[in-house]
Amino acid sequence: MNNKKVNLLDKFELLGENWSPRVVAELNQYQFKIAWFEGEFVWHSHNDTDEAFLVLEGHIKIHLESQIVDLREGELFVVPKGISHKPEAIIRSKLLLLEPKGVINTGEAQSDLRADNDVWI
């Protein structure tokens, strides 16, 4: 049993880059990831999976084609699979993500914001 507890906010001290999800824990075939959000991300979708966003600190919006979801500290939103979305940070924000192992941050989109995958912190 090698699992260790993770202090989510403390982990951000090790993470400089924005929009670069880093794995902090695994549950079965799923990964909890932390990421700094700052400014606007790119429109993209994940055709095989839902994706969860929990704001640990800060304030973001998730733009969807039909609505904008405003998310503040302690608020959770699940983007359904196949739904195009664009995260935007109103202020630089600390996010917890949950998705299956192997999911690329930019999904189906071509973008310079594509981050390395499956990197632990």
Q: Where on the chain is the footprint of a second copy (CB under 8 A)?
A: 1, 3-9, 24-28, 30, 32, 49-52, 54, 56, 64, 66-67, 69-71, 74-81, 83, 98-100
| Count of CA atoms in the C-beta half-sphere (13 A) of 28 | 3
How far from each other are the two terminal CA atoms of the chain, in whole angstroms? 19
Whole-angstrom Cα distance, residue 96 to residue 54? Answer: 5
Q: Whole-number minimum distance, CB 111 to a second copy, in Å?
A: 23
Residue 2: C-alpha distances to residues 5, 34, 63 (Å)? 10, 20, 38
If the CB atoms of residues 30 and 43 are measured against a second copy, the closer one turns out to be 30
Residue 6 or 91: the one with the smaller Cβ distance to a second copy is 6
Pairing of strands 30-37, 22-27: antiparallel
Residue 108: count other Cβ atoms within 10 Å of its Cβ.
13
Nearest to a second copy of 5, 112 (CB atom) = 5
Residue with smaller CB distance to a second copy, 20 or 99:
99
Residue 3 CB, nearest distance to a second copy (Å)? Answer: 5
